[in-house]
Amino acid sequence: MTFRGHAIECRVLAEDPAQEFRPATGTIEKLHFGLGPGIRVETHIYSGYQIPATYDSLLAKIISWGLTRAESISRMRRAVHETVIEGIPTTLPWHLKVLQESDFLKGRYTTHYVPSHRQLQERAPVVSDAG
């Protein structure tokens, strides 16, 4: 068997990273997955799906593949950026931050990555057009 390429999986969860990844319930109001070359999505959710209180918080797995790690990251970044899940908090914004973070990009991560990069869990400030 010959291995070829590089794959990355983002596990999209119904959790709020800014609240220590607290699970969330509610209804998915809008849903769209970013697809394209080298992207696969595994999911059971749909627009209107109600997440019950007794559930596994896993909503979807987005898997990217590329000939190189950089290509796989680029494809994943695009897919996550284009994915829309409205109505509940998800880990999508956190994944986008990780996919741009220097230690991750350089391949410098361990099982302690999440606790040592808590700044990635912070919500982005709300920008107002009012002025």
Q: What is the pTM of this model?
A: 0.86
The pLDDT tens digits for 88-130 are 999 999 999 999 988 888 888 877 766 667 677 777 544 445 5
Instruction: For the chain, give every domain's residue range.
Output: 6-121
Strand partners, 42: 61
71 dihedral zone (left: phi>0; alpha: psi -120 to 50; beta) = alpha
- What distance, in Å, lies between the first and last C-alpha atoms of the chain? 61
81, 86, 100, 103 from 66: Cα distances, Å: 17, 28, 17, 20
List, for residues 15-68, the tens digit of each pLDDT value: 999 898 999 999 999 999 999 999 999 999 999 999 988 888 999 999 999 999
Question: Residue 127 has what pLDDT?
Answer: 46
Topology at the third CATH level for domain 6-121 = D-amino Acid Aminotransferase; Chain A, domain 1 (3.30.470)
